């Protein structure tokens, strides 16, 4: 890691979970579910095949950084997110259901 780790507070985690559906809409992706842990975020969304998950990850991190910085500005030399992250495609219904339930169990907001 290039920077010290960031541990998201419960308020920050709630903001992430509230914001991600709107960010998916902004990007043109179909939101399914998300969860914000103290040190990572899960997002399950649908996108057209021409858009790679890495592109979605880049936009989500950029837009989520903007939302978080509005309330909790970071000092220079500090970042909200580590480099990279998984962008694994979901290719069958069984796996989709497993991923959905895995993410649902980690949500801050239980609604």
Is pLDDT of 77 > 90? no
Q: Is residue 76 part of a domain?
A: yes
Q: What is the pLDDT of residue 2?
A: 73
In the block, which residue shows the tokens 């980690």? 106
Q: What is the pLDDT of residue 27?
A: 96
pLDDT tens per residue, range 1-33: 677 888 999 999 999 999 999 999 999 999 999
pLDDT tens per residue, range 25-47: 999 999 999 999 999 999 999 99
Q: Which tokens go with 30?
A: 């179909």
Domain coverage including residue 44: 10-104
Per the prediction, the chain carries an average pLDDT of 92
CA angle 64, 15, 101 (to 5 degrees): 95
Q: Total structural domains in the chain?
A: 1
Of the pLDDT bands very low, low, confident and very high (cuts 50, 70, 90), residue 78 is confident
Q: Is residue 57 part of a domain?
A: yes
Q: Whole-model pTM? A: 0.90
Q: Is residue 1 part of a domain?
A: no
Q: Which tokens go with 108?
A: 């801050």
Q: Is residue 3 part of a domain?
A: no
Q: Is residue 109 part of a domain?
A: no
Q: Is residue 97 part of a domain?
A: yes
CA 9 to CA 65: how far, in whole Å? Answer: 15
């Amino acid at each position: 890691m290039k920077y010290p780790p960031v541990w998201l507070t419960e308020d920050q985690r709630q903001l992430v979970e509230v914001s991600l559906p709107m960010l998916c809409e902004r990007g043109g992706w179909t939101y399914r579910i998300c969860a914000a842990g103290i040190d990572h975020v899960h997002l399950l969304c649908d996108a057209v095949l021409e858009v790679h998950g890495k592109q979605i990850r880049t936009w989500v991190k950029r837009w989520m950084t903007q939302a978080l910085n509005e309330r909790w500005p970071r000092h220079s030399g500090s970042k909200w997110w580590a480099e990279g992250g998984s962008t694994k495609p979901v290719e069958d219904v069984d796996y989709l259901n497993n991923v959905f339930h895995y993410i649902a169990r980690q949500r801050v907001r239980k609604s």
